[in-house]
Chain A
Amino acid sequence: MNNSDLAQILIRAVEEADSSDRLLDAVQELAAAGIEESVPTLIAALGYNNPGAAVAAVDGLIAIGEAAVPSLLELIDDYNYSARAWAIRALAGIGDVRALDTLLEAAKTDFSLSVRRAAARGLGTLRWHQLPPDKVESVQTQVLEALLLISQDPEWVVRYAAVTSLETLAIAIATTLPDQASRITNQLQQILDKDADLGVRTRVKFAQQKIQQPQHQEVFAPKIKLEDADVSEVPYRGGGRR
């Protein structure tokens, strides 16, 4: 059986699932197959109001990667904001720079905090090496400005996500824009001194700790494999979180 036949069978299983458990299993199998043809079906699964199926679909879309990006970008305009949040998570996991404008827009202005949260996270997981070298500085500056703004969001979880991205950005610009690095360290210190939320302040401490570690030269290397302990320093790739 070739991939296309397999995809058809697995897609039919998703379409015919008549319980939330069956749907979850079917989406998991389809996602695990990692076949490009399944992108529309996986995207549809983001909107079924079934968190397990959505997580599985996000993992599958991240595994498919760049080929899924155009369809995901189209979905962002969708009316269903729960699906939109999952789509943003998939884009964040893929880290494709084509999603930059969508992520900036969503992180700054979306009314749904789960969308803002996922977009803020996505701004820190972009794969800078995809950009032409002469673009890197201007885009990083743009992302930096956005994150400084987003780190003042009224919602703790959005600020928390912004801190995780300020951390990865600080590590990335240490080599490209060293004169901007102090803007991040100052902002983190501000949050640590002033933020009302203990969780956010604790995440800042963690970020400061990680920024000070010297072994961060590989941010530009594509798809590096890090130990689990460092998992938060690479683009989130699903990791089977349920």
Chain B
Amino acid sequence: MNSSPQKFEDLSSTGNSGDGESLTVEQAIANLESADLGLRFYAAWWLGRFRISETAAVTGLIKALEDEADRTPEGGYPLRRNAARALGKLGDRQAVSPLIACLDCSDFYVREAAAQSLEMLGDPVCVPVLINLLQVGLQGEQLISKQPDLSQPYEAILEALGTLRANEFTHLVKPFLEHPIELVQYAAARAMYQLTQEPVYGERLVQALAGEKLQLRRAVLADLGAIGYLPAADAIAETLAENSLKLISLKGLLEHQVNHTVTSTLSDGAMKVMNLMDSLL
């Protein structure tokens, strides 16, 4: 990923985002069934992008998870991928079961999108199926010997298991700390911290902030923001990455502080984080 910081800005809503404006909600929903595969693909993305959570949109996207018309030369399912991604953003629990079914799809990217969206929807009913997928990479409680194993979207699966608090499966998450792919290691550390609250896993991510590669540091910023690991605050502010990403990461810490403080007074941690954020504006 060689994107400039502004790539991240393009994902934000500024209310005038180019051609998206030319679609209406009705049109986008209708386009999911268009004869033009390009229009279908775009409509699925658009409905997620603008958080169109109407029943007809959800129903149309769930139907698109079984699409057979749109195929890549390698056998991938572009429309299913976009539909799965969109359903995570719409927050409708009806999508949980159909997304669980997508974890069986032959297309890696459909499985990845489904895991990410199941994490967003936050319903732990999908945990056993995610665990089945995770175990593809394990022999008992060790990584399978053929490495690097890229057969499953482990990063997305691990992050989902952490967010969904799949505490009884910690022993199956832990081996992935040793995975040869750094992003998978980080996802495992992130999940381990969420499952155990042990600082050693947060510290592992803090160490990764000092790594060589910008794209990995960016990923770790997102992980630390997601787990709200307060002791990382200074390291986040100091790491070599775009301020936009540091601010988002620190905001994750700040919100975690606020959500875990009983009183309405600001904690010292919250104030510390805000002073750091101010300095990065």
Q: Please give the residue numbers on chain A whose beta carbons come within 8 Å of chain B beta carbons, in ascending order.
A: 24, 49, 51-52, 55, 81-82, 89, 92, 111-114, 117-118, 120-121, 154-157, 160-161, 164, 198-199, 202-203, 205-206, 209, 229, 231-232, 236, 239, 241-242
Contacts and interface: CB of A to CB of B under 8 A. Distances in A.
Contacts of A202: 254-255, 258, 266, 270, 274
Contacts of B55: none
A121 B251 CA distance: 17
B6 A241 contact: no
A142 B240 CA distance: 36
Given A51-B241, A52-B240, A232 B14 contact: no
B275 interface: yes
- Of the candidates A157, A160, A231, the one having the most CB atoms from chain B within 10 angstroms of its own CB is A157
Given A202-B266, A203-B274, 11 more contacts: A113-B12, A117-B281, A154-B12, A154-B15, A198-B255, A198-B258, A199-B251, A232-B274, A236-B279, A241-B237, A242-B240
A231 B266 contact: no
A92 B238 CA distance: 19
Given A202-B274, A236-B279, A241-B280, A114 B6 contact: yes
Leading 3 A-B pairs by shortest Cβ distance: A121-B281, A52-B240, A232-B278
Contacts of A114: 5-6, 9, 242-244
Contacts of B147: none
B9 A112 contact: yes
B243 to A, nearest CB: 7
Given A199-B254, A205-B266, A236-B279, A157 B244 contact: yes
B139 interface: no
B281 A161 contact: yes
Nearest to B257: A202
A49 B4 contact: yes
Contact of A236 (B247, B274, B278): B278
Chain A's interface: helix, strand, loop or mixed, by majority? Answer: helix
A160 B12 CA distance: 15
Interface string B1-40: 0001110010011110000000000000000000000000
Contacts of B241: 51
B14 to A, nearest CB: 6
Nearest to A237: B279
Contacts of A231: 275, 278-279
Interface of B: 4-6, 9, 12-15, 214, 237-244, 247-248, 251, 254-255, 258-259, 264, 266, 270-271, 274-281
Contact of B266 (A113, A209, A236, A241): A209
A51 B221 CA distance: 15
A82 B13 contact: no
Given A114-B243, A232-B275, A82 B4 contact: yes
A117 B251 CA distance: 15
A239 B271 CA distance: 17
A199 B248 CA distance: 10
Contacts of B276: 241
Given A81-B6, A114-B6, A164-B278, A154 B244 contact: no
Nearest to B258: A202
Contacts of B266: 202, 205-206, 209
25 contacts: A51-B5, A55-B240, A92-B281, A112-B6, A114-B6, A114-B242, A117-B281, A154-B13, A157-B244, A157-B281, A161-B281, A199-B251, A202-B255, A202-B258, A202-B274, A203-B277, A205-B264, A229-B275, A231-B275, A231-B278, A232-B274, A232-B279, A236-B281, A241-B276, A242-B239
A117 B241 CA distance: 17
Contacts of B280: 241
Contacts of A92: 281
Contacts of A118: 281
B258 A241 contact: no
Contacts of A155: 12, 14
A103 B280 CA distance: 17
Contact of B238 (A81, A229, A232, A242): A242
Contacts of A81: 6
A43 B251 CA distance: 29
Nearest to A118: B281
